[in-house]
Structure 1
Amino acid sequence: MYLSAACLRLLAHLALCLRRPINLRRHYGSWAVVTGPTTGLGRSMAMELSRRGISLVLLDLDAANLQYVSAALHEAHPGVETKTVVFDLSLVGTAAGDESMGRLKEATEGLDVGLLVNNAAVNRPGALYVHEADVERLARMVLVNVMALTEVTAAVLPGMLERGRGAIVNVGSGSTVAVPSFPLYTVYSATKRYVQHLTRCLSVEYKHRGIDVQCQVPFYVHTGMLSPAIKATMTFPAFVATADAYARDAARWIGHGVLCVPDASQQLQWFLAGLVPDAVHDWYRLRQHLKHRAILR
């Protein structure tokens, strides 16, 4: 059964590569909201969407970084517009968070926002047993990865419903899809499992209203979330995608399925991971992550 499903996924991926990609601007709308667009995958995704003629509302906690990325987008793609919203997503549920959410709603008012890319996430502290971690930092991870993602989605949805079209892209993690456990990164993995389940439920709720909701699943990607020392421990570095290459594939996958692994080599990795017994995965992951723990300590 697994082999049949995995083979169908691989065939679907190949078919998509041959298919003409969706014109995201025409199909969904002329604006996109991107969270965490100043570094790594978020920055690459913002660049890719702007390359496709989509104007951007950029949301991040650092005003200077937002201005820098905004200027880079205008230089690379002069036709696009940008708006910036300073928002520390770890402050959701507080007075400061409510004020920032108000600025986001004000910035998007009257815009044809057809895309939301929930990219912002925190993965530290990691490579630690839960009892070793600073509980406040774990709580911040949950606030950003779970609560903030939910609130930003709820803020953007009404406009999409009014226009009868839109796409929400939630960035998940291979730690919840390809392997049965992700020890020592337990809370991070658990937050990404929430993202995956939220996506499926929202897709069922809103598909008939013209809104596509998708969880895109990166495995390892060359970004700041992956330290050089940890990269050096990887058994199969060829499976680590660059952020720009991943973003190009990710944009092609928008609108195609609820759960997807956009990168072809990582699709193959997903297929191969399914052939390994869960107990072996658990043993190998704990062994590798204990190496990470030793490096980071």
Structure 2
Amino acid sequence: MNAGKMKGMLEGSAAQDRMLLVLAAIGFLFILRFVYLLVLWFYSYFLRPAKNLQRYGEWGLVTGATDGIGRAMAIQLARKGINVVLVGRSASKLEDVTKEITSKSRAEVRSVIVDFMDDDLNAGLAKIAQSTSDIQIGILVNNVGISYPYARFMHEVDAGLEKSLLRLNCEVTTKMIHLYLPSMLKSKRGAIINVGSGAVGILPSYPLYAVYAGAKGYVEQLSRSLYVEYKHSGIDVQCQIPLYVATKMSKTRPSFTSPAADYYAKLAIACIGYEPVITPYWVQSVMWFIITLIPEPIMDSILLSNNLNIRRRGQAKENAAKKE
């Protein structure tokens, strides 16, 4: 073998060694990153201490506080020593929640009856502002929202439903933040929790619930942006993204993957003040990760098929009700 061939072989071997070394380094960094994320995930869900909510102030306000997640979060805030303002449209339900809170805690409770779907939304907001004019709201939970009665194509969404979806999920959330953000800035402390949806934060698409998904997408992006805008001003903004929680709106029963509202609220309260976007229930965070591994076209097909079935059942139920 002549010297030229030997030199070429050695150079080729060296280049191959360098390539293998680069691949090994990339693989090592990938494994290191995976281990880091796994440890961080475990710490966040099982070891990280909840923040002292009283750092934000003595009062919290929860919209949509008469049922489901809103009701459960109001109760949990009270158990943490936070006085609460309950906002809802049913006087009797507000009274029931008030009695439950005062029987289980020493928290002071105020309630404000407001129907956010009233044509004069500004009057409702003024009523809330007036009812809280003498207190400092340190924690704002924007929970009020609405989904479809059942799945449907966008051309089947009537004007009334469309108005409700956009007003309750987008407009009210925005205006409630505007209402209390100035006072939080003045006191240099506050927490704003916006309840999002797995229809946007987790799933790649949500066919047959397009307007709802779009509205909740707005909530998530609003939260992410405000988190960056105000994190240096002492104000923590967070979008909490549940999958299914056993509530009247979701029409599901408690299970391993769909926690009861009370249990979910305990986890949600413990997350306040940390990530800008989070799924409070650890099982659903695992589901989120698994969903990201499924190719989007396959996931889209699964969701479309499932929601078409929901649409068929909803239409059948609606037609049966009309015949009665």
TM-score (norm 2): 0.83
Cα distance in 1 between the residues matched to 2:172 and 2:289: 32
User: Per-residue deviation at 1:227?
Assistant: 2.2
SS of 2:256's partner is: helix
- Higher relative CO (CA 8 A, sep ≥ 6), structure 1 or 2? 1
Cα distance in 1 between the residues matched to 2:31 and 2:173: 33
1:116 aligned residue: 140
1:132 aligned residue: 156
Cα distance in 1 between the residues matched to 2:270 and 2:37: 15
1:53 aligned residue: 81
- Which of the two has higher C-alpha Rg? 2
User: Per-residue deviation at 1:35?
Assistant: 0.4
User: Per-residue deviation at 1:49?
Assistant: 0.7
SS of 2:111's partner is: strand
2:115 aligned residue: 88
1:193 aligns with 2:222: no
* Matching residue's letter, 1:70: T
User: Per-residue deviation at 1:165?
Assistant: 0.2
User: Per-residue deviation at 1:108?
Assistant: 1.8
Pair 1:64–1:11, CA change in 2 (3 A)? same
User: Per-residue deviation at 1:6?
Assistant: 7.7
Cα distance in 2 between the residues matched to 1:221 and 1:10: 25
Q: C-alpha root-mean-square deviation of aligned residues, in Å? A: 2.1
Structure 1 vs Structure 2: percent identity of aligned residues? 36
Pair 1:259–1:2, CA change in 2 (3 A)? farther
String of CA shifts for 1:17-49, please: whole Å, max 9, x gaps: 212221101x11110010001111111111111
1:192-211 equivalences under 5 Å are: 192-211=216-235
Retained in 1: the 8 A contact 2:150–2:314? no
- Structure 1 unaligned spans of 5+: none
String of CA shifts for 1:137-184, please: whole Å, max 9, x gaps: 111111111001110110011111111000000000111122111011
Pair 1:162–1:6, CA change in 2 (3 A)? farther
- Structure 2 unaligned spans of 5+: 1-28, 316-324
Retained in 2: the 8 A contact 1:125–1:137? no
2:40 aligned residue: 12
Retained in 2: the 8 A contact 1:2–1:274? no
1:35 aligned residue: 63
String of CA shifts for 1:221-257, please: whole Å, max 9, x gaps: 10001225xx79xxxx631121111111101100011
1:1-297 equivalences under 5 Å are: 10-16=38-44, 17-25=46-54, 27-77=55-105, 79-91=106-118, 94=119, 96-228=120-252, 238-297=256-315
TM-score (norm 1): 0.91
SS of 2:165's partner is: helix
Retained in 1: the 8 A contact 2:77–2:269? yes
Cα distance in 1 between the residues matched to 2:33 and 2:161: 38
Cα distance in 2 between the residues matched to 1:9 and 1:149: 32
User: Per-residue deviation at 1:12?
Assistant: 2.9
User: Per-residue deviation at 1:84?
Assistant: 1.0
SS of 1:184's partner is: coil
Greater mean deviation of Cα atoms: 32-41 or 13-22: 13-22
User: Per-residue deviation at 1:126?
Assistant: 3.4
Cα distance in 1 between the residues matched to 2:101 and 2:91: 15
